[in-house]
Amino acid sequence: MKIDQPPLRRWLLWHHSIMKLPPWEHDRRTIAHHEAAHAVVGFFLNAPVVRIELLDDDRRGVALFNYSAMEASAAAAKEAAPEAAPEAAPNVEILEIVATLHAAWNYAGLMAEILLHGISLDGRVQIDTQDWRVARGMLAVGFGDDRAEQAMFYSQHLTRYVLQRNWDLVAAIADEVEKKGQVSGDNVMRICAGRSVSWGELTDKW
At 65 the three-state DSSP class reads strand
In one-letter notation, the amino acid at residue 105 is: W
The predicted pLDDT at position 77 comes to 52
The predicted pLDDT at position 61 comes to 93
pLDDT along the chain (206 residues), means of 10: 75 73 92 97 90 86 79 56 42 75 93 95 86 93 88 90 96 96 96 86 57
The predicted pLDDT at position 36 comes to 98
The predicted pLDDT at position 83 comes to 46
11 vs 25: CA distance, rounded Å: 31
3-state helix, strand, coil in the chain (%, to 5): 60, 10, 30
Q: Where are the alpha helices (DSSP H) in 144-183?
A: 148-165, 167-180
Hey, which residues does 61 pair with through a beta bridge? 54
The predicted pLDDT at position 88 comes to 39
73 vs 82: CA distance, rounded Å: 17
* pTM of this structure: 0.84
123 vs 109: CA distance, rounded Å: 17
The predicted pLDDT at position 98 comes to 83
The answer to whether the beta carbons of residues 35 and 109 sit under 8 Å apart is: yes
